[in-house]
Amino acid sequence: MRKALLLAGILGVSAIGASTLATAQPGDTGRAAFRQIYEEMVEIDSSPTTGSCTKVVRAAETRLKAAGFTAQDYEVIIPPNKPDDGNIVAKIRAQNPTKKGVLLMGHIDVVDARREDWERDPFTLFEENGYFYGRGTADMKGQAAVWLDLMIRLKQEAGFKPSRDVVLALTCGEETSNRVNGIDYILTNHKPWFDVAFALNEGAGGLLSADGKALVLQIQAGEKIHQVFELEVTNPGGHSSRPMKENAIYQLMAATKKVSALSFPVQVTPVNREYFRITGPILGGEIGKAMSAVAKDPNDQAALKVLQADPSYNASLHTTCVATQLQAGHAPNALPQRATTTLSCRVMQGTTPEQVKATLEETIGDPNVKVSIVRRREGSTAPPLTDEIMGPVKAQAAKMWPGVPIAPLMTAGATDGRFLMNAGVPTYGLSGMFSKTGENNAHGLNEKLRVQSLYEGRDFLEAVVRAYVK
Ligand SMILES: [Zn+2]
């Protein structure tokens, strides 16, 4: 998951420390089988430098076949000339579907991990002190294993008659741009697999207090879109002994400075507003108060100002563009012929690249500065939190974590959900796996996941999926 949750750094006090939650109950036999799937997945290296997604895919295929999935029920999809970037999709068909299906999606690639930097072998699953350790334990082989295990059990369950298709997609390429993104690839080349009503993805879990109490269950509903722009000034140049008034670097600097002062209009989306309403009282303090005030009145300028002073909340409130790269000139003794600034824009859903471009051009107000779209990502829309989606989430959360509020959140970073949302499939991030802020250390050293959180997440996701397809 390439993103920072909004609460990151705010709530977490201690990143280490024993949980005060009761230890996980010894599970059913199904839990042991699930744990084996999880272990196998973590222990197959699927990092870009030394690993292979296809190996994970083949292991999953073996399990699906053993469970009774036939060649019509699943497909291994390997992009041409990318033998290690494999994906697998599978489907349990409804006999008389009343609605389009539900997609259970998870990326199976992980970030590189170097044995010499880790305390334990990153590609061996260790269970110690209430945690599972290993690369991908948290991001996101836990949830991927939950999906695979659930598909297998549903397939084998006598009398399981879903009202709609249940579709699984375990895909590669979420963590790095060097690989083929599986979701994007399948949408382009095998789209019928994704003809579904909505998708469940990574992107949100639950938050524990410093002493291990469940504070809030999160559901990710929407994420910002990464669009890249370039500002460019060109000039015939000439000898540096003969400076001219028109100078590509000076013109570009002036334009870049204007962009640095640009603030896109604040958008307190319904998800923002609900997030602030739930989270404000939990956080308390100046920020918490400001959240509660904005939840009450989204035009409360004083409260908005407090939130905008925090980079995380500022990012959630509007489109941002920031200069990330600069290139100019070709020789120390020549007038610059070209100067460019790269802008990384994180755009609120519903805003098109053309709209951002127009705002940039208007802000710069100089026809000599050419604004172009380098990476186009469409506007898409934030997925609505309908009763159909929220009903089962609320019901199961009330059983498992009574009294714990549910906060929808929009992330400022991106997941694979962006491709599906662009394709019109509402995609929600939901795992039911609680952690303290930052404790999983996803992408970092000694990545880990609470044992209890994994098993609770499994129970939670199973109940929610069963309700969706009942
Ligand atoms: Zn991830």
Tell me the CA–centroid distance for residue 182 and ligand 1, in Å.
Answer: 13
What is the model's pTM?
A: 0.86
Distance between Cα 413 and ligand 1 center (Å)? 11
92 in the same domain as 210: yes
**Are 185 and 323 within one domain?**
no
Q: d(Cα 458, Cα 38) in Å, to the nearest integer?
A: 11
Question: What's phi and psi for 385, nearest 5 deg?
Answer: -90, 80
Domain region containing 330: 225-375
Q: Which residues make beta-bridge pairs with 372?
A: 230
Residues 300 and 302: their CA atoms lie apart, in Å, by 6
Q: Is 49 a member of any domain? A: yes
Q: What gap in Å lies between CA 248 and CA 264, rounded to an integer? A: 26
* Distance (Å) from CA 23 to ligand 1 centroid: 26
Residue type, 252: L
Structure confidence by residue, pLDDT tens digits, 42-84: 999 999 999 999 999 999 999 999 999 999 999 999 999 999 9
Pairing of strands 370-375, 238-239: unpaired
Write the pLDDT tens digit of every residue in 44-55. Answer: 999 999 999 999
**Distance, CA of 213 to CA of 21 (rounded, Å):** 7
CATH of the domain at 387: 3.40.630.10
Please tell me the predicted confidence (pLDDT) of residue 382. Answer: 85
| 402 CA from centroid of ligand 1 (Å) | 28
Residue 412 binned pLDDT confidence (cut-offs 50, 70, 90): confident
pLDDT tens digits for range 275-311: 999 999 988 999 999 999 999 999 999 999 999 999 9
Which long-range contacts does 361-364 make (Cβ < 8 Å, 24+ apart)?
363/258, 363/259, 363/262, 364/231, 364/255, 364/258, 364/259
**How many whole angstroms from 323 Cα to the centroid of ligand 1?**
26
Output DSSP code: residue 69. -
The CA–CA distances, whole Å, from 418 to 199, 425, 469 equal 11, 9, 24
For residues 161 and 96, give the distance between their C-alpha atoms in angstroms, rounded to a whole number: 9
Written as one letter, the residue type at 288 is: G
Question: How far is ligand 1, taken at its centre, from the CA of residue 430, in Å?
Answer: 12
Read off the pLDDT of each residue in 264-283 and give the average, rounded to a whole number.
93
Cα 470 to ligand 1 centre (Å): 28
Same domain, 131 and 164: yes
- Does residue 177 register a pLDDT over 80? yes
DSSP state of 366: -
**Structure tokens given for 64:** 């699906």
246 is written with which tokens? 């028109």
Judgement on whether residues 43 and 188 belong to the same structural domain of the protein: yes
Establish if 8 belongs to a structural domain: no
- How far away, in angstroms, is 403 Cα from ligand 1 center? 28
Segment 317-340, tens digit of pLDDT? 999 999 999 999 999 999 999 999
Question: Which pLDDT belongs to residue 283?
Answer: 86
Count of structural domains, the chain: 2
Residues near ion ligand 1 (Cβ under 5 Å): 1, 139-140, 202
Residue 205 lies in a domain: yes
